[in-house]
Structure 1
Amino acid sequence: MFKVAVIGASGLLGRAIVGELTRQPDWQLVQTTFSRPVGQSVTLDIRDADAVARFVDRERPDAIVIAAAERRPDVCEHDPALARALNVDAVRAIASATQRHDAWVLSISTDYVFDGTQPPYRYDATPSPINAYGRSKLEGEQALAESTDLGCVLRLPLLFGPIVDWRESAVTSLVPAIAASARTASSEAKAAVMDAWAIRYPTYTPDVAVVVRQLLEWHARDEAVCGTVQWSGDEPMTKYDIARHLASALQIDAQLTPQHTPTDATPRPHNCHLDSTRLETLGIGRRTPFDTAIRDVLAQFPWRG
């Protein structure tokens, strides 16, 4: 029986990974959560290295997927200690614990390890993060490499997928402002200003879950993929573009104004397009068109503003 532990099973990506892996009839799945228990999950604070070690020694998984992280750039900028605890120290603790049991560890990283000036970025391109979030995730990649010989980093861009709250993704978090711009159209009209500078590649979490499952299948065949791999959607969009697609899917006559210069307090890269060739060469990957995916998301969590 192939045993997989998913760390951070209640988050946006963690839920998608669990949903994909539970369909594997010959696999045993262990889920951990911190603040939002789901199903038969185990409560685990990954900032507690001793608790992590006890969990790994008790469960002895064949593989661990680390989907827990602090992924909000503004939070990382203002609380670097929290960012380091979750994105660096926890990765090191998990990888060190699994090294004793020869388990394969998959850690999720980000396109923000790059500065966004020379896309597309290969998996072996030199990172140069420009904000605290990117720096913490890069240090987490290094911590994994230093702590285990059976580690793999999967870099991902902007994620969206089935949600429990509009704010879970920077994609769906735009919906309230889009809807509000339509509601005021007949009176004191106020358009929603949307960033039209930074180019993102929104990537559907169920597609990422397929990538994770396929990577796990390689390990289950004793052909573990190690080092760094990357996966990304292939449709470049600014937040303004994303908002237009959302408005169309919601059938809302939204008033949107593009903002062509960066305005975020925390610096963001311009274009960190990730090259996915290494995984594609292995026959790994799936991409759902954005419009198809976002309509599915909105159908599961309809707007009731």
Structure 2
Amino acid sequence: MTGAERFTVALIGASGLLGRAVAVELARQAKDWRVVCTAHRRAVADSVPLDIRDHDAVRAFLRREKPQVIVVAAAERRPDVCENDPALARALNVDALGAIATEARALGAWVLSISTDYVFDGTSPPYSPDDAPAPLNAYGQSKLDGENALLGCDPHACVLRLPLLYGPVVDWSESAVTSLTPAIVASADTANAPATMDAWATRYPTYTPDVAVVIRGMIEHHARGATISGITQWSGDEPMTKFDIAERIARALKVDAKLVAQRTPADATPRPRDCHLDSARLEALGIGRRTPFDTAIAHVLARYPALPPH
């Protein structure tokens, strides 16, 4: 492709846990793709400041950049925040996506939006893309409403559902996986009490650089004229509770942690027990990568304790 014909990808939400990994992965296509990143709370090099709740600013950004692909990684993803502030959850997870979808349709751009396994109630895993959603909390409901807003506006758009994410972080609290680390380390001190960890819900921690490879593969399909539409899913394939995760983190850090298993639900906001996502649709297309958890978490924890807990 010539410089004038470069394929433009707009990555909305490049400052978050997943967005940063996607930005790194898409940079590998720098010769053929022009990647424009936006950020809101955290500044990212060469990014455009954008609050997706400002629909006029979103429209102006998209009309100026004229992307062929829009990846939406910006969202409110904290279940407790969504439960306590449903208006904020709707503004970020539903209304903003509807505005992006409307403008993308006018431009002829393909939208790939990130959703969650929390659209399911966790009672009948594994879940295929066609299984009926039944969210248990406001976060899951807002993401489901966002899926419907996107696909209702443009059936050619695509949703990628993902489970619990972890990866390179800017602080340990950024992922529900790495957020366990300070308590795990503190529990090894004989002066401190053991750390209680959830052993009730089964999760499938998924490495953000692997998800970024998935997203790049999906964009490559679109660039070749083989657009993927509707609902897709990707997940790590190692089931574990937070207690299991904590044991692996302790092993990676070589600390003698004192851990207690909590075998009943303890979260104030209801969460599903097991939302294992079936990834077969993308696997059949040859899209995907899974880094073993122990390998990936060792890479992430190599910076401990250099980052702040919050």
What TM bracket, shorter-length normalisation?
over 0.9
- Find the partner of 1:8 among 10, 13, 16: 13
What is the rounded CA distance, in whole Å, between the counterparts of 1:76 and 1:22 in structure 2? 32
Q: Distance in 1 between matches of 2:108 and 2:143?
A: 24
2:217 is matched with: 214
CA distance in 1 between counterparts of 2:170 and 2:282 reads 30
CA deviation after TM superposition for structure 1 residue 190, in Å = 1.0
Offset at residue 148 of structure 1 (A): 1.7
Query: Which consecutive segments of 4 or more residues in structure 1 shift more than 4 A?
Result: none
Aligned AA (1:19): V
Alignment-derived partner of residue 123 in structure 1: 129
Mapping of residues 65-214 of structure 1, within 5 Å: 65-183=71-189, 185=190, 187=191, 189-214=192-217
In 2, distance between residues paired with 1:146 and 1:233? Answer: 29
Deviates more, 1:96-105 or 1:203-212: 96-105
Name the residue aligned to 1:234. 237
Cα distance, 1:101 vs structure 2: 1.2
Q: Of the candidates 25, 29, 33, which is equivalent to residue 27 of structure 1?
A: 33
Equivalents in 1 of 2:153, 2:27: separation in Å? 28
> 1:82: how far off?
0.2
* CA drift at 1:146: 1.3
Given that 1:102 and 1:150 are in contact with CA atoms closer than 8 Å, whether structure 2 keeps it comes out as no
Structure 2: unaligned runs, 5 residues or longer:
1-5
Aligned residue in 1 for 2:285: 282
Q: Deviations over 1:123-173 (max 9, x none)?
A: 110000000000000000000011223310000000000011001100000
Find the counterpart in structure 1 of residue 3 from structure 2: none
Q: What is the rounded CA distance, in whole Å, between the counterparts of 1:254 and 1:36 in structure 2?
A: 33
How far apart, in 2, do the equivalents of 1:171 and 1:303 lie? 15
| Match in the other structure for 2:247 | 244
Structure-1 residue corresponding to 2:304: 302
SS in 2 for 1:140: helix
Shift of 1:48: 1.1
Q: Look up the match of 1:267.
A: 270
Determine if contact 1:119/1:272 at 8 Å carries over to the other structure: yes
TM-score (norm 2): 0.96
Kindly tell me the number of residue pairs found equivalent between the two proteins: 301
Cα distance between partner residues in 2 of 1:69 and 1:213 = 20
1:47, distance to aligned residue in structure 2 (A):
0.5
Which stretch shifts more, 256-265 or 34-43?
Answer: 34-43
Residues 1:254 and 2:260 aligned together = no
Q: Distance in 2 between matches of 1:149 and 1:267?
A: 31
Query: Structure 1 CA distance, aligned partners of 2:254 and 2:228?
Result: 43
Q: 3-state SS of the aligned residue for 2:188?
A: helix
Deviations 1:190-227 (A, max 9, x none): 11000000000000000000000000000001111000
Deviations 1:89-144 (A, max 9, x none): 01100111110111110000000000000000001100000000000000000000
